[in-house]
Amino acid sequence: MKKNILMVISLFCLLFVLGGCMDKPADNKEDQSDAKVNSKKEDSKKEEKSNSTKEEVVKIGLITAETGDIAQYGMAVENAVKLAAEEINEAGGIDGKQIKLVIYDNKGDAQESVTLFRRLVNNDKIDALVGPVISGTTLAVAPLAEQSKIPMITPTATALNVTPDYEYVFRACYTDPYQGTILAKYALKELQAKNIAVLYNAGSDYSVGLAEVFKKVAEEGGAKIVDFEGYTKDDVDFNAVLTNVKNNNPDVIFIPDYYNKVGVIATTIKELGIKATLLGPDGWDGVQEEYIDMVEGGYFGNHFYAGDESKIVQDFVSAYKNKFSETPNALAALGYDAMKIMANAIDQADSTNNEKILEKLKETSIKLATGHITFDSNGDTTKSVSIIKIENGELKFETQFNDK
């Protein structure tokens, strides 16, 4: 009897345990199902959040020079682009979307610019590009922008061949041939130049382009080019070349290069006692920072003059001074305008579609800090050139000069 009772109890326990074990898979299956549902919900939320982020941001790349020989130019452009983007974002963005700038330092190097452009397109997925800053680096990037169909505007690359072959490439500045023509005519008409020496950087597209156009126009206007001398970017001793220039007694010496090299050459000119008037292009902007005494009495062409009393210029100058505690130069003004031009095109397109942005860039008609901006069929803009004189250690506005 006792044995039967024990057997019944054992059987009952066994059934209870088995019943419990049979229930567990069902519960586990239900838990797994819930986990999958919850996981899908979380993934959906993440995807929704990711899509929302994409919709709310317009990515604009900026390739500039934060370090290297032209860092002063690059940082002026970068500061102004940031200021323009900040103003647009504070005003509600582009059709409600905030601008996100993706900025890289190309050190003023062409190959580095190519590498950075590919990173901007492949990794950062930009919608448009502002930059690069100088002609050499811009010429390296322009064919890639065209191939990738990325709308691009360089604020300051003036070499003629930057835009003609590339539908997607625009510029906010005037071209080297246009500037060279204006400066040659200014030398003939206003400086009464008869004998002119031209010193240029043989390794710079910018410098060579300006030198050749200037020489052609000056000779056609009756002047004699008494010296046409090239040098390299690494040259630091100009005594031999300038001694020869001195012997030829020019009225004007035209130096189409950037401020840092101009300063070195101008120092030697002063040391040798050469009395010719110095003349240069927009690349001189910045020479006042370190070499103002060396270029005293000289003139240079520029895209912008901070002393312009128009409201749009003074609003920009005031905003730039407040943010960066310095007066903006022409490079800054062109960077500011380039950002505004691209943002306006994207806004007018009501889309980040590259073809729609391209069409609106072509239709641009907007008054900005450097003048009224429209584009010709090449993506170039033409404006009057501001002639700046260095007088008593200061930059002074001389006149607006054009090709009329």
167 and 188 housed in the same domain: no
355 and 264 housed in the same domain: no
Residue 248 belongs to some domain of the structure: yes
pLDDT tens, 368-398? 999 889 999 999 987 778 899 999 998 898 9
283 and 315 housed in the same domain: no
User: How many Cβ atoms from other residues are within 10 Å of residue 220's Cβ?
Assistant: 11
65 and 116 housed in the same domain: yes
pLDDT tens, 193-217? 999 999 999 999 889 999 999 999 9
Residue 44 belongs to some domain of the structure: no
298 and 313 housed in the same domain: no
pLDDT tens, 50-90? 333 445 899 999 999 999 999 999 999 999 999 999 999 99
265 and 163 housed in the same domain: no
Mean pLDDT of the region 309-321: 94
pLDDT at 23: 39
What CATH number should be reported for the domain holding residue 190? 3.40.50.2300
Whether the predicted model's global pTM rises above the 0.85 cut: no
163 and 183 housed in the same domain: no
Residue 45 belongs to some domain of the structure: no
User: 29 falls in which pLDDT band (50, 70, 90)?
Assistant: very low
366 and 298 housed in the same domain: no
pLDDT at 404: 64
- Amino acid identity of residue 152, one-letter, is M
Q: Is 347 a residue whose pLDDT tops 50? A: yes
User: How many Cβ atoms from other residues are within 10 Å of residue 274's Cβ?
Assistant: 18
pLDDT tens, 122-143? 999 999 999 999 999 999 999 9
282 and 187 housed in the same domain: yes
Of 254, 287, 302, the residue that ends a domain is: 302
Number of domains in the chain: 2
Take residue 101 and report the two structure tokens written for it.
């700038």
Going along 160-248, which residue ranges are E strands?
169-171, 195-201, 224-231
pLDDT at 286: 84
pLDDT tens, 176-197? 888 999 999 999 999 999 999 9
Greater confidence (234 vs 45) lies with 234
What is the bridge-based pairing of β-strands 152-154 and 128-130? parallel
What is the extent of the structural domain holding 380? 57-174+307-384
pLDDT at 274: 97
- Cα gap 263→256, rounded to integer Å: 12
Q: Is 113 a residue whose pLDDT tops 60? A: yes
User: What would the 3-class secondary structure string for 84-116 be?
Assistant: HHHHHHHCCCECCEEEEEEEEECCCCHHHHHHH
pLDDT at 158: 87
Q: Which residues have C-beta within 8 Å of that of residue 41, sequence separation ≥ 6?
A: none
Residue 47 belongs to some domain of the structure: no
167 and 190 housed in the same domain: no
Residue 236 belongs to some domain of the structure: yes
pLDDT at 21: 39
Say which residue the tokens 């409600």 belong to. 96
- Amino acid identity of residue 161, one-letter, is N
**Which among 213, 257, 195 has a CA at the least distance from the CA of 232?**
257
